[in-house]
Each structure stands twice: as C-alpha cells, then as structure tokens.
Chain A
C-alpha cells in the first residue's frame, strides 16, 4: 500500500530538548516536504527536498532542520524546540518529474512543547 509514515503521532516535550520526527515513504518519490498546520494560519511549508541530498527552505524554516540521506526518508529535526513550535506537522511526498500528479500526506504528528 502506498503510504507516507510519520512517527511519532503524538509528542510532548520540554523547551530545548532536541527531537526528531521521522517521515518515510514507500513510493520512490523524489519530492518530499514538511508542513505545519496552525489554527487560522492553515498549512505552511517548512522545508522541502527535490531529491537525495537536495533540500531547501519553505515559508517557515526558522527553528527546523532536515536531511535527505536516503530517498525514502526525510526527518524533521528541532534542535532546540520552543513553545511556538507547538503545532500539527505533516510530511508529504510526490513525484518530481511530472506536474500532473498528486501528493501523499502522512497522518500527522501533534507536537506540544512546554
């Protein structure tokens, strides 16, 4: 089954404690990205990756890092989380080479930073 898998689904952490949210896809997609969703602000892109070892900033990259060492994985790293990073996070993937295509989203990670 084609899917994007995020872990963990729920996470409560304290300010400053480094954390990683994993994302994995099984569709051999080149393009992967991270979004955060906040009430009233909708979904906003954090980082994206066009392929292995190629990453770039989205609209709200501050406080986040990513890496793309393998095609299937695209972890989101919060080196020093702060309460304003409390949000619902989604990973997405799609084929890069074809415009006429759909994006697949993970089930989300609800992060609370206290």
Chain B
C-alpha cells in the first residue's frame, strides 16, 4: 500500500471549516483513499473514502486531486467534538486485505 504524509498537527476555530491535507504521491490506480479518526484513545472511526471522484457524506467531504497524488478532508463546520487524530490511509486490498496501515495522523484541535 502507498505511503501517506500528513501534517503532525492543525488547529481550527469552532464553527469554521477544517481542511486536513494528505499526500499520497505513490498511490496506484486501484488504491482507495480512506479517512478515519480516533478521539482520545477510543476505537478508530470511519469517516469517508473515495477512489477518484470527490465524495461527501453527513460527516465530511473528501476532495481528491485529479492526479490522485493528494487529497483533503473537509469538516465543514468543526465542533469541539471533532478534536481527534485524523488518519489518511490508502488501501487496495489484495494480499494485505483488511489490514489498515495507520500512520501517525494529524492531531486536529478545535478551539472555542
């Protein structure tokens, strides 16, 4: 699976959009981009995933660049409860089916 690079930490004001970048320049054509988050040592929580097109759900939006070498997770109206570690993962199944390789992630702190 391709390696990802994320900033170590980011801050965001409550009510503003939080934009979390992820670089995955070695991504291959069959690899999906997944985002998970972990709130204070709880189990990781799925947020969103995509292959090529931008995706939106009730939690967030995922913007993937046309060359697929980077992506941005957008939390449109961040709240204090969105303070967490956010993980960007690229994954294609195959021989590593089911294994999610978590990096260090981005610590997002939402301020009042």
Q: How many A residues are at the interface, by size bracket?
A: 20 to 34
Does A103 interact with chain B (Cβ within 8 Å)? Answer: yes
B97 touching A96 by the CB < 8 A rule?
Answer: yes
Number of interface residues, chain B, beta carbon within 8 A: 22
The secondary structure that dominates the B interface is loop
A48 touching B99 by the CB < 8 A rule?
Answer: yes
Which B residues from 1 to 40 make CB contacts under 8 A with A? Answer: 32, 34, 36
B99 touching A108 by the CB < 8 A rule?
Answer: no
Does B74 interact with chain A (Cβ within 8 Å)? Answer: no
Which B residues from 42 to 100 make CB contacts under 8 A with A? Answer: 42-46, 49, 51, 91-93, 97-100
A99 to B44, CA, bound (A): 18
Show the binding face of B for A, using Cβ within 8 Å: 32, 34, 36, 41-46, 49, 51, 91-93, 97-100, 102-105
Show the binding face of A for B, using Cβ within 8 Å: 4, 31, 33, 37, 42-43, 45, 48, 50, 58-59, 88, 90, 92, 94, 96, 99-100, 102-108, 110
